[in-house]
Amino acid sequence: MEFVSTRGGARAGAAEAVLRGLAPDGGLYVEAGLARRPFDWQSCLTLSSLGMAEKILSHLLPGFEDMGDLVRRAYAGKFETEDLTPLVGVGEDYMLELFRGPTSAFKDVALSMLPQLITAARRLEGVTDEILILTATSGDTGKAALEGFHDVEGTRITVFYPDGGVSPVQRAQMVTQEGRNVKVCAVRGNFDDCQTGVKAAFNAISASGALEGKGLRLSSANSINIGRLAPQVTYYFIAYAKLLGLGRIALGDPVDFAVPTGNFGDILAGYYARLMGLPVGRLICASNANRVLTDFLATGVYDKRRSFYRTSSPSMDILVSSNLERLLYLASEGDSALVRRLMESLNREGVYTLPQAPLEKIRSVFSGFCCGEEETLEVIGRLWRERHVLCDTHTAVAFSAAWAYRRQNAGGAPVVVLSTASPYKFPGAVLSAIGGHAEGDEFSQMEALERLTGVPIPRGLRGLRDKAPLHQDVIGREEILPYVLAQAGRQEV
Ligand X SMILES: *Cc1c(COP(=O)(O)O)cnc(C)c1O
Sole window of 88-96, 262-270, 340-348, 435-443 interacting with ligand X (rule: CB under 6 A): 262-270
CA distances for 346 relative to 23, 207, 310, 349, 381, angstroms? 18, 25, 22, 6, 38
- Listed ranges 100-108, 154-162, 170-178, 427-435: which one lies at the site for ligand X (CB under 6 A): 100-108
Tell me: does residue 94 bind ligand X (CB under 6 A): no
Q: Does 261 participate in binding ligand X (rule CB under 6 A)?
A: yes
- Minimum Å distance from CB 268 to ligand X? 8
Q: Catalytic residue among 55, 78, 107, 183, which?
A: 107
**Binder of ligand X out of 104, 225, 263, 376 (CB under 6 A):** 263
Phi, psi for residue 171 in degrees, rounded to 5: -65, -45
* Residue 316 touching ligand X (CB under 6 A): yes
Judged by CB, which is closer to ligand X: 102, or 265? 265
Residues in Cβ contact with 188 at an 8 Å cutoff, skipping those fewer than 6 apart: 163, 474, 475, 476, 477
Residue 469, number of CB atoms within 10 A of its CB = 12
Q: Which is nearer to ligand X, 197 or 262 (CB)?
A: 262
Positive or negative, the Cα torsion across 393, 394, 397, 403?
negative
Rounded distance, CA 173 to CA 443, Å? 12
SS3 of residue 204 by DSSP: helix
CA distances from 322 to 54, 66, 328 (A): 26, 30, 11
C-beta of 18 vs 111, nearer to ligand X: 111
Q: Which is nearer to ligand X, 2 or 266 (CB)?
A: 266
SS3 content of the chain, % helix, strand, coil (to 5): 45, 15, 40
265 contributes a contact to ligand X by CB under 6 A: yes
For 492, list phi and psi in degrees, rounded to 5: -145, 160
Q: Is 434 in the site for ligand X (CB under 6 A)?
A: no
Per CB under 6 A, the segment of 68-76, 105-113, 237-245, 450-458 that binds ligand X is: 105-113
Q: How many residues bind ligand X (CB under 6 A)?
A: 17
Q: Of 176-215, which residues contact ligand X (CB under 6 A)?
A: none
Measured from the CB atom, is 261 or 332 closer to ligand X?
A: 261
Residue 140 binds ligand X (CB under 6 A): yes
d(CA 342, CA 348): 10
Given 55, 394, 406, 471, the residue binding ligand X (CB under 6 A): 394
Q: Residue 219: name the closest of 152, 336, 121, 133 by CA.
A: 133
Residue 401 in contact with ligand X, rule: CB under 6 A: no
Q: Which is nearer to ligand X, 218 or 421 (CB)?
A: 421
The answer to whether 148 contacts ligand X (rule: CB under 6 A) is no
Cβ–Cβ under 8 Å, residues 117 and 64: yes
Please identify, among the stretches 4-12, 256-264, 298-306, 480-488, the one whose residues bind ligand X according to the rule CB under 6 A: 256-264
Exactly one of 134, 172, 255, 421 binds ligand X (CB under 6 A); that residue is 421
Please tell me whether residue 477 binds ligand X under the rule CB under 6 A: no
In degrees, rounded to 5, the angle at the alpha carbon of residue 85 between the alpha carbons of residues 365 and 121 is 85
Closest CB to ligand X among residues 181, 315: 315
- Scanning 3-11, 260-268, 368-376, 473-481 for contacts with ligand X by CB under 6 A, the matching segment is 260-268
Q: Applying CB under 6 A, does 420 fall inside the site for ligand X?
A: yes
Which residues does 360 contact at the CB level (< 8 Å), separation at least 6?
none
Is 264 near ligand X (CB under 6 A)?
A: yes
List the strands of the sheet with 280-287, edge to edge: 87-90, 93-97, 415-419, 255-260, 280-287, 366-370
- Identify whether the C-beta of residue 299 lies closer than 8 Å to the C-beta of residue 124: no
Binding mask 212-251 for ligand X (x = CB under 6 A): -----------x----------------------------
- Give least dist CB 88 to ligand X, A: 17
260 belongs to the binding site for ligand X (CB under 6 A): yes
Nearer to ligand X, 282 or 394 (CB): 394
Q: How far is the CB of 36 from ligand X (least distance, A)?
A: 26
Give 296 or 483: the residue with its C-beta nearer to ligand X: 296
DSSP-derived 3-state class of residue 8: coil
130: part of which helix (H) or strand (E)? strand 130-136
Whether 55 is a known active-site residue: answer no
- Residues contacting 361, CB < 8 A, separation 6+: 331
Cβ atoms of residues 284 and 108 within 8 Å: no
Q: Which residues are part of the catalytic machinery? A: 107
List contacts with ligand X (CB under 6 A).
105-107, 140, 223, 260-266, 315-316, 394, 420-421
